[in-house]
Amino acid sequence: MPRSRRLTLLTALASLGLALSPAAAADAPQATLYTGATVIDGTGDAAHADQDILVEGERIVAIGAHDVLASRAGAARRVDLSGRFVIPGLIDSHVHLATPPNRKRAEAILRRQLYGGVTAVRDMADDLRAVGDLARASLVGEIAAPDIYYAALMAGPPFFADPRVLSVSRGFAPGTAPWMQAIDADTDLRTAVTLARGTSATAIKIYADLPAERVAAITAEAHRQKMMIWAHSAVFPARPAEVIAAGADVVSHVCYLGYEAQPRMLAAYEDRTPVDETRLAPTGDDPVVGRLYRAMAKQGTILDATGSLFVKFEAARKADPKAKPLRCSGARTIRLTQQAWRAGIPIATGTDFVNPASNSWPEVHAELRYLTDDVGMPPLAAIHSATLVGARAAGQDEDMGSIEPGKLANFVVLTADPVADIDNIERIEMTVKRGREYRRTDYVAPTPSELGDED
């Protein structure tokens, strides 16, 4: 309710000898005017200096040049942000919070994310009983955490021998949980998607071991029931071109796109044979992948690159003779992402790994550095990827992803300019999520036991 209407209501109640109860008064939206900041709004536009942001309750109600909003703000609490930089809350587009469920660990990860500037995450299929409760607790402010949007998983029957399935679907035979369904040629997809939708999932994640026909049929039914499709960019045996042609809204893992250049597609996800990089162009843009990017650009498909994952773990894998090789080298992953950027593909900042307790910052910072330092994107573009593109990937861009009137008050206050140096994303004074302030000085880092890092 606008402040003027609220005051009118209070006056009317007082004239009748009535008043709001203390609880109702406490629940009434409070207004805060943040003044004098340089605003990087997440749309990709250049920064706007000396701006004021008026927040009422959970939402931004106005933005304007300094002092323009003073009369409208009335008795709103003032917060001076002179010399500060404000960016939208960051979005990690690829996390796993409950494989297997561990509430203590999940809350520690989520707390680190929120105090590190992350105000929303996209959970890419876990035990949705646990994830749904975390999402509810975050939404109502019971825990310090980003908002959580999540997917139910569908895959071919062979995948459900994976031990991870057992850890996220206890109480169900593998492949029969509404959030973890085995799909074959006989599956009634209308029922399967309805069951998935009943978990309150935003999307269906198409994971593995499905032919092109099933990928297309799942996608069509999900879209009919107003659910998004978040898919691996290669589903095995479905090729990347077939996943894209099916109409996936977001595809994950830029590396997997390299399989398109192979004459014979791997028949199963469980075959971990890496991409044959000799079949990709040794220099410049690869023409086969270029065709994929043209199709993605035409359809508006978002790429959840997860590039820092491949770069980060390549050296460790090479040093361990027992470790299975990654599907792509770090260098090829970088080149494929660079080609996507040049092709105008919207790139989200997903991570798909968890930092150890010794690192007090969220994983998405590594993906931002990957996009700027390795891929060569300007910091302003990388911030756009981590904010508005991430919101689109989660299907939430009407409410978040940019600093605009009407959207949720999700933003990060920095003491240095992230456009000048992306490392300044860690110069956090506070994170504001749904109008609540979380000051970095109040953050307590997780212990090794909380994250399970102890030997």
CA angle 228-231-397, nearest 5°?
A: 40
Side-chain-side CA neighbours of 336 within 13 Å: the count stands at 33
User: How far apart are the two ends of the chain, measured CA to CA in Å?
Assistant: 53
Residue 453 burial (C-beta neighbours within 10 Å; 0-12, 13-18, 19+): middle
What CA–CA distance (Å, rounded) separates 87 from 387?
A: 9
User: What is the DSSP code string of 97-142?
Assistant: S-SS--HHHHHHHHHHHHHTTEEEEEE-SS-HHHHHHHHHHHHTTS
Which pLDDT score, from 0 to 100, does residue 29 have? 64
Record the pTM: 0.93
What CA–CA distance (Å, rounded) separates 346 from 392?
A: 10
Express each pLDDT in 285-298 by its tens digit: 999 999 999 999 99
Give the start-to-end residue ranges of the domains of the chain: 90-401
What CA–CA distance (Å, rounded) separates 453 from 317?
A: 19
Express each pLDDT in 330-362 by its tens digit: 999 999 999 999 999 999 999 999 999 999 999
Please provide the CATH number assigned to the domain covering 90-401: 3.20.20.140
Pairing of strands 118-123, 176-177: unpaired
What string of pLDDT tens digits covers the 455 residues of the chain? 444 444 343 334 344 344 444 444 445 568 999 999 999 999 999 999 999 999 999 999 999 999 999 999 999 999 999 999 999 999 999 999 999 999 999 999 999 999 999 999 999 999 999 999 999 999 999 999 999 999 999 999 999 999 999 899 999 999 999 999 999 999 999 999 999 999 999 999 999 999 999 999 999 999 999 999 999 999 999 999 999 999 999 999 999 999 999 999 999 999 999 999 999 999 999 999 999 999 999 999 999 999 999 998 887 777 887 888 889 999 999 999 999 999 999 999 999 999 999 999 999 999 999 999 999 999 999 999 999 999 999 999 999 999 999 999 999 999 999 999 999 999 999 999 999 999 999 999 999 999 998 65
Q: Tell which residue, 327, 342, 334, has the closest CA to residue 259.
A: 327
Q: Report whether 343 contacts 290 (CB < 8 A).
A: yes
